[in-house]
Structures are given as structure tokens and as C-alpha cells.
Amino acid sequence: MPALVRGLSRLGLSVNAGFFLVTNAVLFGSLLLLWLHLRDLGFALPLRVTGLLVVGLTQGAVRWFEYQYWMTDPAALFLVMLAFFLLEREERGAVLATSVLASFVRETYILVYPYAFLRDLRTGRGLRAAVVRTAAIAVLPFAALVAIRRLIAPNQPDDFASGIVDSMTFRWNHLLDNQPYVITLGAFGVLVPLVLLFPARLPGLARRHFDRALYVVSVYATLVISNNNERPLSYALPALVPAALYGLRTFLAETRLPVVPVLGLVVALQALFWWGQRWAEMGMSIYQPVNWVTVVAMAALWLVAQGARVRARPERGPGGPTLPYGP
């Protein structure tokens, strides 16, 4: 990233303008790749539009980087999204090239390698094949990443253990304050109740898509060392958004409610969440207070959705089930 900005500065741009330009280019690329990935997964146009708007109104995915535009996370998020897109299309050579580039950007990309390994297992390849295929895309970029870490000495203390202690001490001290909120609704807004629309089906969904489920878990595991919330958790979006849209699609199919008003409500609630997020104050990623308007709105959405599901269930009579919308 600094090398790209240095090149832009030689063309006449200031350092700030260079970082701002690069950040917005990769943010656009991330959203475009998400759009294409959702299409590859089979989501219809209205759901893809909804997913894109919801992510655009997720602070950790876009707004955070618009005012802290010198960070490497936008480029890393773009490369992670590109890896998901390419893995779904089985473009392993392109994944290797993406991985080598990512080793020069940010370490968070290494979460892609366990996902690629588990995806091979889920899609029917044996253990040996999964190991070989994952090593083929991971060994070279991982070696480059280690070399960079060894060759470039940080100008600040780099104590991994102390970072874990500091992060977890803070989170423990605020466990009954804001932490449950900031790592769920405070990070993702309406995506959370959408994922939880069918709570009884979640274990089965996680078993069928254990690669994506464990990828989300691995993203959450980075909070052990991170002193932020929205920014690191944004890496879960490539797996979290399809899960949310799957729940929404299933809900619409079961309840037969009109599609456009329901999707409009989802986007409106995410806009409400976005509007209530505090962002112009120092440390808001970890000190973000609980927004009770957001909590009540998202809880109301989930409860109303459960009521709609109950109402739409077929009622069993003497002649068998009676569908609420006719035969």
C-alpha cells in the first residue's frame, strides 16, 4: 500500500489523496466482488441488491475506512473477497496470485487458507487432496509473509502476549457494558437477526457449510488480539452476508410476504443502525456504546418475523394440512 501511494505521489498526488484514492478503489472492488459472489451463489437480483446496500451501510465495511483511509484493511478485505470469489469458481491459479499479493498487505488474509482447506473437504475431496491443494496456494505466500515480518523491524514494541492480555482484560472489564453489543448488532446491524431467523436450523446449516461457519469463528478469534471490533469483524462479511440472505430468502418463501416491502424494511433498518453509529470520536470501534434504538428495532424485526412464520405454518385439519394461501 505505501508503495502504491508513493507511485501516485510521483504523479503529483499528495500522500493523503493517494491513500484516499487507493482505499476507495479497493472498497469499490470489494463491493463489486461481493455482488458477483452472491450471483455465483444463486441469489436473485432483489436479494443481491439488498445484500449490497446492507454491506454499504455497515460501518466496518465502508465508513470506517472513509475517514481512516490510510489503513491496509480495505485492500486486505478486497483480497479476501477476491479469494472467496475465485475459490467458488475453482480458479486456484488466480487464488495463488491473490495470496502472494496479500502477503504484502496484511496478515489477516491467512484466515483464507483454513477456509480453502475446509471447503475442499466439504465439496467431497479427500483429506490428502485438500492438504495438497491448500499447500499449493499457501506455502509461497506464507513464506513471503514470514520473510517480511523478519526483515522489517517495527518501530513500536511488538509483544503478542501483552496484546492478548490488554485486549482480553478490556473486554472482560466491559463484559456487562458494551462488549456483547459491539461484537454482534453493533458490528453488523440487521445481518444478525437475519442470520438468526431460523434458530432451530442453524446447527444443520453450520454442519452443511462448516467451512464458512468456521471461517466466521476464526474471524471472531482475532478479537483476542485486536483492540478494535468493527474493522476486524468486517472480514466475516464474505460468509455472513450469504448466510443472512439465505435466511431472508427462506423466510420470504415460507411466509409468501411481498418481496419488495420486506427487503425495503431490511434496508431501512440497516440505515437506522448506520445513522445511530457513533464514528467521529476517538476509539469508537471499541468504546461504541449500546444503541438501544438499534437493539429494540432489530429485536422487533426478529419477533415480527417469528410471528409471520407461525402465521404462515400450515394448519392441520381432518383432511390434512391446509395452506394459508390456498392450494
The whole-number pLDDT of residue 319 equals: 41
DSSP string, 281-327: STTHHHHPPP-HHHHHHHHHHHHHHHHHHHHHSPEEETTEEE-TT--
| Axis-axis angle for helices 259-276, 45-56 (nearest 10) | 10
Q: Looking at residue 167, what is its pLDDT?
A: 84
Residue 278's pLDDT is 80
* Other Cβ atoms closer than 10 A to 254: 14
* CA–CA gap between residue 232 and residue 291 (Å, rounded): 20
Determine the pLDDT at residue 325: 29
Per-residue pLDDT of the chain (327 residues; tens, 9 = 90+): 889 999 999 999 999 999 999 999 999 999 999 999 999 999 999 999 999 999 999 988 998 898 889 899 999 999 999 999 999 999 999 999 999 999 999 999 999 999 999 999 999 989 999 999 999 999 999 999 999 988 988 887 777 777 788 888 888 888 888 889 999 999 999 999 999 999 999 999 999 999 999 999 999 999 998 878 888 999 999 999 999 999 999 999 999 999 999 999 999 999 999 998 887 676 677 788 889 999 999 999 999 999 999 998 865 444 433 333 232
Q: How many whole angstroms separate alpha carbon 75 and alpha carbon 102?
A: 8
Query: Residue 286 and residue 227: Cα distance in Å, rounded?
Result: 7
- State the pLDDT at residue 237: 97
HSE on the CB side for 247, CA within 13 Å?
27
Residues 6+ apart with CB under 8 A from 246: 205
Q: Which residues contact 191 (CB under 8 A, 6 or more apart)?
A: 54, 58, 240, 241, 244
Which residue, among 267, 285, 289, 286, has the nearest Cα to 276 in the 3D structure?
289
Contacts of 236 (CB under 8 A, 6+ apart): 188, 215, 216, 219, 220
- DSSP codes of every residue in 47-101: HHHHHHHHHHT-TTTTHHHHHSTT-SHHHHHHHHHHHHHHHHTT-HHHHHHHHHH
Q: What long-range pairs does 292-298 form, CB within 8 A, spacing at least 24?
A: 294/185, 294/186, 294/189, 295/181, 295/185, 297/269, 297/272, 297/273, 298/185, 298/189, 298/190, 298/192, 298/193, 298/269, 298/273
Cell of 9: 505521489
> Grid coordinates representing 231?
474493522
pLDDT for 327 equals 28
Which cell numbers hold the place of 281? 470520536
Nine-digit cell string for 264: 425495503
pLDDT at 283: 67
Domain boundaries, the chain: 2-71+153-313
DSSP state at residue 175: T
